[in-house]
Amino acid sequence: MLDTVGMQQFFEPRSVAIIGASTKPGKVGHDILRNMLTSGFGGEVHPINPHAEEILGRKCHPRVTEVEGDVDLAVIVVPSAAVLSVMRDCGEKGIGAAIVISAGFKEAGAEGLERERELGKLARKLGIRVVGPNCLGVMSTSTGLNATFAAGMPKRGNVSLMSQSGALATAIIDWSIQQGVGYSKFVSFGNGVDVGVVDLLRAWEDDEETKVIVAYIEGLSNGPEFMAAARRVSEKKPIIVVKSGGTEAGARAVSSHTGSLAGSEHAYNAAFMQSGVIRAHSMEELFDLAVAFAYQATPRGRSVGIVTNAGGPGIMATDAVERDGLRLASLDQETIRALREQLPEAANFYNPIDVLGDADADRYTYAAGHLLKDPNVDGVIAVVTPQAMTHPDETAEGVARVASQSQKPVLACFMGGSAMEEALEVLNEQHVPVYLYPERAVHSLARMAEYQEWLEEPPDEYIRVVPYTQGVQSVFKAARAEGRVNLGEIEAREVLKAYGLRIPESYLAQSAEEAAQHAEKIGFPVVMKIISPDILHKSDIGGVRIGIRDRQEAVDAYDLMMLRVQRYAPDAFLRGVFVQELIQTGREVIVGSTRDPQFGPLVMFGLGGIYVEVLRDVSFRIAPLGKRHARRMIDETRSAALLRGARGEKPSDIDAIVDTLLVVSQLVTDFPEILEMDINPLKVGEAGEGAVAVDARITISEEEPVVGG
């Protein structure tokens, strides 16, 4: 909560000092002061400049320490070399919050990076919250605070925006002013030495003036903290994020399938999905969604009513409905009756309702109103083209009126140019989101429906097994003692066993006779494998035999393996021969995990063999993982249809896969030293038969992780 208190000074300061205020118009230090003085800010504003008496009619102080009375917020615009000393002044003055506009920090090479580190250290020491450096600044429309050097300020509204890029923030402001979109708070946090995404999420979580949070980010520094905050905030208001920057080439070599398939894009997508964050894939989508969520309620379901005054755009909207996973509402008889009563005979009374090109505002509004009242309709798309009898502005008034009387969302699409200008203004003023193209209106409604579904989900079930932790620890310890980080299959299976996963019955034999006895105990057929840390490709020297059918074959196999090892790898250290139950039936899937630098352990699922290796048909979630997301991971793969029993086959035991995903999620969460792991294959039986981890590999870190670090 201290965080939030600290953050408030950025938006509601009583007194602001502009340190580095300039007398010269066009200079950043002048523009900020001017913005602070002309945006309706009610508090005190103190320009600080040792070389001026006054600027823009305000008395100037040489240092912030010399201002009389308290200062809540410092806006720092001095050259980067002077920022630290100015910060010390702020500390002396007891200022709790600073916006460092100045550039010349980590974006500017090694020296700048060092300066930024010092700035961070100093801020923590002095207890000053810092926005920036290298940023555009902060706005709050409700207090009239405009501590930026942008050329204007959007009108008051209920969208709050954070941006990692100052330039993009400038573009957004410019545009929002033109489009008449209102904002509540606006923070360009630049390099983010202190205040970042998580602080702002927390600050806006309970902010009554913020209905929608939008963010442009290029990266996150603390994934788990972000997810925790985002998940909580998303339940109160939508968070819409544009995350730019593609998959970077992995920094460390990967040794597992999971490792080679995972990328930071997968991690970000999973993190957003798991925390209810709505990812927009362009600034255009960000704006479309921001306005939709800011202006309208979310739909209670996916059934859409379309009203149009032209066939073509109606078809386009219908196409979009199908593409975006919405559905055309099947209208209630009462609605159809009401439409028939007032609409001309040639109109279309079924969804999409076509009120015809000669419809006036009354006819259009009548149809839109009845659609909204239909119990089968969750939201309405209102499409208008500029036809002969169309009065777009009156139609807009009508649409806005029925929209305001309904709890259901109405999104409009008024297609045209100058003929539509007035209508757009009317709709925007009355908070009906309006788009130029039907596809964008429909897509926005679809994303709203998705968010609503997320809101309605019950909490996910997080199930934990009681593991034999010591067993795992001793496996890791033993491997490290031998200088190994790649666990062999015996060791890996030991770990899985400690977490209660079913593994094939198996024993190590050190003589042919012992092998035969083990095989008899397990029951034929069995698998036999040479076990040696020095022999990587067992099959190449005949070190794997599958389907040994009787005692004699077991004895022969053992002897042959010994012979071959002597011949081809005489120096290899040999642990013995592994005799293992042969899991003959079941479908092969892979469950794996890798560690993402931002988000930590990432769990992967895919069907075995070609589905993973060739088709790359896999899905990811961030651990820890609940039951619902485990099930969705499976459903998200195209090949999941095979598990559900395609082509007349019996369905596989999907519950057993879910359980395995949850166990792996727990394992990699419990042991951060597991860098990568694959269970490949996990053989899954028919429904109710369970699953067996036939083979596995685990890579651990060289060092034991510091607990609580």
Positions that interact with a copy of itself (CB under 8 A):
28, 31, 107-109, 149, 151, 163-168, 170-171, 174-179, 216, 218, 242, 244-246, 281-284, 309-313, 315-316, 318-319, 322, 346, 357, 385-388, 415-420, 436-437, 439-440, 609-610, 613-615, 638-639, 641-642, 646-647
Nearest to 359 by CA among 379, 388, 382, 334: 388
Q: How far is the CB of 18 from a copy of itself (least distance, A)?
A: 16
Rounded to a whole number, what is the distance in angstroms from the first to the last CA of the chain? 23
The alpha helices in 527-653, defined as continuous H runs, are 551-568, 610-613, 627-636, 640-643
Q: How far is the CB of 262 from a copy of itself (least distance, A)?
A: 18
Nearer to a copy of itself, 354 or 673 (CB): 354
Q: How far is the CB of 26 from a copy of itself (least distance, A)?
A: 8
Nearer to a copy of itself, 250 or 609 (CB): 609
314, 382 contact by CB (below 8 A): no
Strand, coil or helix: what is 378? coil
Strand, coil or helix: what is 618? strand
Nearer to a copy of itself, 31 or 89 (CB): 31
Separation between Cα atoms, residue 164 and residue 197, nearest integer Å: 9
Please, what's the b/e burial string for 273-287 (b: 16 or more CB within 10 A of its CB; e: otherwise)?
bbbbbbbbeebebbb
Separation between Cα atoms, residue 382 and residue 527, nearest integer Å: 66
Nearer to a copy of itself, 220 or 501 (CB): 220
Structure tokens belonging to residue 690 = 């369970």
Q: How far is the CB of 148 from a copy of itself (least distance, A)?
A: 11
Q: How far is the CB of 146 from a copy of itself (least distance, A)?
A: 15
Q: How far is the CB of 437 from a copy of itself (least distance, A)?
A: 5
Peptide bond into 438 cis (omega under 30): no
Nearer to a copy of itself, 440 or 493 (CB): 440
Q: How far is the CB of 434 from a copy of itself (least distance, A)?
A: 14
Nearer to a copy of itself, 347 or 572 (CB): 347
Separation between Cα atoms, residue 602 and residue 614, nearest integer Å: 21
Nearer to a copy of itself, 218 or 235 (CB): 218
Separation between Cα atoms, residue 37 and residue 58, nearest integer Å: 9
91, 121 contact by CB (below 8 A): no
Helix (H) or strand (E) holding 234: helix 223-234
Q: How far is the CB of 639 from a copy of itself (least distance, A)?
A: 7
Q: How far is the CB of 414 from a copy of itself (least distance, A)?
A: 9
Q: How far is the CB of 43 from a copy of itself (least distance, A)?
A: 25
Q: How far is the CB of 6 from a copy of itself (least distance, A)?
A: 27
Nearer to a copy of itself, 461 or 649 (CB): 649
Q: What is the 3-state secondary structure (H, E, C) of 26-60?
A: CCHHHHHHHHHHHCCCCCEEEEECCCCCEECCEEC
325: left (phi over 0), alpha (psi -120 to 50) or beta: left
Q: How far is the CB of 696 from a copy of itself (least distance, A)?
A: 20
Q: How far is the CB of 179 from a copy of itself (least distance, A)?
A: 7
Separation between Cα atoms, residue 64 and residue 93, nearest integer Å: 7
Residue with tokens 């309605």: 456
E strand spans, 618-673: 618-622
Which residues are paired to 700 by β-bridges? Answer: 674
Residue 33 to residues 58, 150, 188, 661, Cα–Cα distance (Å): 10, 11, 17, 56
DSSP assignment of 298-339 equals PPSSSEEEEEESSHHHHHHHHHHHHHTT-EE----HHHHHHH
Q: How far is the CB of 133 from a copy of itself (least distance, A)?
A: 14
Q: How far is the CB of 28 from a copy of itself (least distance, A)?
A: 6
Q: How far is the CB of 284 from a copy of itself (least distance, A)?
A: 5
Nearer to a copy of itself, 609 or 672 (CB): 609
Q: How far is the CB of 567 from a copy of itself (least distance, A)?
A: 25
E strand spans, 436-518: 486-487, 506-509
Nearest to 154 by CA among 141, 168, 163, 167: 141
Residue 452 to residues 287, 375, 446, Cα–Cα distance (Å): 19, 18, 10
29, 59 contact by CB (below 8 A): no
Structure tokens belonging to residue 238 = 């939508």
Nearer to a copy of itself, 224 or 344 (CB): 344
Separation between Cα atoms, residue 250 and residue 216, nearest integer Å: 23
* Dihedral over alpha carbons 161, 162, 166, 172 (to 10 degrees): -20
Nearer to a copy of itself, 65 or 598 (CB): 598
Nearer to a copy of itself, 109 or 127 (CB): 109
Q: How far is the CB of 96 from a copy of itself (least distance, A)?
A: 28
Nearer to a copy of itself, 39 or 143 (CB): 39
Nearer to a copy of itself, 39 or 176 (CB): 176
Nearer to a copy of itself, 5 or 167 (CB): 167
339, 413 contact by CB (below 8 A): no
C-alpha 361 chain-centroid distance: 42
Separation between Cα atoms, residue 5 and residue 521, nearest integer Å: 68
Residues 6+ apart with CB under 8 A from 690: 502, 653, 656
Nearer to a copy of itself, 254 or 465 (CB): 254
Nearer to a copy of itself, 357 or 533 (CB): 357
Nearer to a copy of itself, 163 or 303 (CB): 163
Computed over its alpha carbons, how large is the radius of gyration of the chain?
Answer: 32
